[in-house]
Every structure is written in C-alpha cells, then in structure tokens.
Amino acid sequence: MNAAFAAGLLLLCSAASLPARAAARGEDAVWSEVEEADMDTRALNDRGRKALALPGIGWKHAQTEHFVLHYEQAIFARKVARMADFFYSYIAEDLQGAQDRVDGRSHIFIFRNPKRWDEMRKAFEDTPEWTFSLVQGTTMLLQQADDTTRSGDILAHEMTHLVVNRFFTGRLPIWLSEGLAEYFEEFAYSAMKGIKKSKRAQFQRLRFEYPLAELFRATAYPADPEMVRRFYETSKYMVGFLLLDQDRAKCIPFMEELLKGADVMDAFSRHYGFENPEAVEKGFRRFAY
C-alpha cells in the first residue's frame, strides 16, 4: 500500500459535528502500561510476533481499550494511542451497523527513528524501501517522523486501515479500502483536531478522475504516480457518493457482499438499484461534478 505518497459519516446535514463517543474517547484515552507477559496477544498475528521478537529493541508495552502499543519512548506513543481510540470510536459510530469482529486488541509497533525502521524492513524483507508505515490485518508498523505534524496525515490514513480491519473480515476491494482511508483521514483527523468541516462541501468538482470500470477491476495499484493520485482521489469520491449521496444504511451490506466475492455491479444492482455500469457512472458523476 503506497500510503507514504497518499498524503488521509454522521448526519449529512451536520457532518462536521464530532461524534459524542469519539470526543469522549479521544480526550481521555485509557493508557495502562503492562509487562509483555501480561499484554493481550489474542489478535497478535505473525507479523506482530516477528516485530515483537526483533533483536536490539527494548519494547515497552501499553494497552488502551482496543489497542496494544509497543514503543521505546512514551510521549509519541501516547499521542498515537489517543488517535487510535478516537478513530475507533469515530468510525464505529459513523459506519452505522458495523460491528467489531476481532477478539482481542490490535497491535501498533512504533519505530522511533529511520535506523530502527530500516532494521525492521531488512528483517521482514517484504517491506518496500519507500514505505513509511504498514498495516496488515490487526498489526500496524509505524515509523515516527521527525515531528508529529509531518506524520499526522500518514498515521490518520493508516489508522483508518487498522480500525476498519476490526469491522470487516476478509479483504475489501482496493478502491473501497483506500477510499475509506482517504475519507476518514480527512474527516476523522479533522474532527480530532477540532476542525469543523461540512462533509458534502468537501466534495467539490472531482479534478483527478480514474475510470470507474478500471477502478472496480483493480487488484493492484497503478504504476504511474499520476494515476495513483487519480486512483486515490476517485476512490475517496466513490466512498463519499455511497455515504453521503445514497442511503447509508445500505453501505455495510454492500461492503459485506463485496467481501464475499460478489461482482461489484451485481452488488450495486441489488443494494442500490443501479441496473448497469452506465447508471452507476451517471449517479456518481452527478455527485462528483
């Protein structure tokens, strides 16, 4: 996932309002330091176990309601914990009907400098050189930037992936996964910072369009950087179309059907009544333009 280059749903009429539970959780995330032997490992996957066993890192551990943080320095880790809890509550409340399907806490490993990150990357071998952070299932590997602001957008995007993975088992289509991450990177992160935004007002005319037929068929990211930009932007607008322009109650059943391998056009027809690709295109263009 090219998140390093991708710089991150309440009521439609008051979309800028902060969900009450998200506000409460974000302001006062419960942080409990724990010993490794006592931490929650129920959702620790293979990548997480390998990160935990990396040599030369004196991991410290802390838990919030839904996350385990692994870190060396607590100041930044506490900020990450607050964002994690905030995003969890915001997305849970905004994706009406979504249920947490993970038994146990997700794990966030914070690598405090480029040297630590490179050590991890070489140990894993499958982590591309350009990555700044990585999410796989219930595990996030996060490199701490020189300052919190610079890492904020990346963290917001990746945090969405980590949280969304708790609500959906299986693999969402790339366009839907990245569209959700772009959507919440903007709105959940803005809400966390206390910035009020009208969600519908943020979707002005789509400037960088990616063909919808290719978007829905994609099983890998485009190779060309400009097309990557168009892919992410169009994916975000498609998620906005589903959540703000259509009946939002249909969104979760639509996503769950795609997770089961349903054809995207069949799912559009069953849940939204679009009879053919042209009808989807027409509705989307009305929203995006």
Do the Cβ atoms of 255 and 207 come closer than 8 Å? no
- Per the CB < 8 A criterion, the answer to whether 44 and 63 are in contact is no
Q: Output the pLDDT for position 128.
A: 72
The domain of 76 spans: 3-288
pLDDT at 3: 36
Whole-angstrom distance, CA of residue 6 vs CA of residue 178: 9
Q: How many domains are there within the chain?
A: 1
Q: What per-residue confidence (pLDDT) applies to 154? A: 79
pTM: 0.84
The CATH number that applies at residue 268 is 1.10.390
Q: What is the pLDDT of residue 201?
A: 85
Query: What are the b/e assignments for 170-193, b being 16+ CB within 10 Å?
Result: eebbbbbbbbbbbbbbbbbbbbbe
Instruction: Render the burial of 194-205: b for 16+ CB within 10 Å, e for the rest.
Output: eeeeebeebbee
pLDDT of res. 22: 52
The length of the chain in residues reads 289
- The pLDDT value given to residue 18: 43
Q: Which residue ranges of the chain lie beneath pLDDT 50?
A: 1-20, 23-27
- Listed as own residue / partner, the contacts of 219-226 with beta carbons closer than 8 Å and 24 or more positions apart are 219/174, 220/174, 221/1, 221/2, 221/174, 225/5
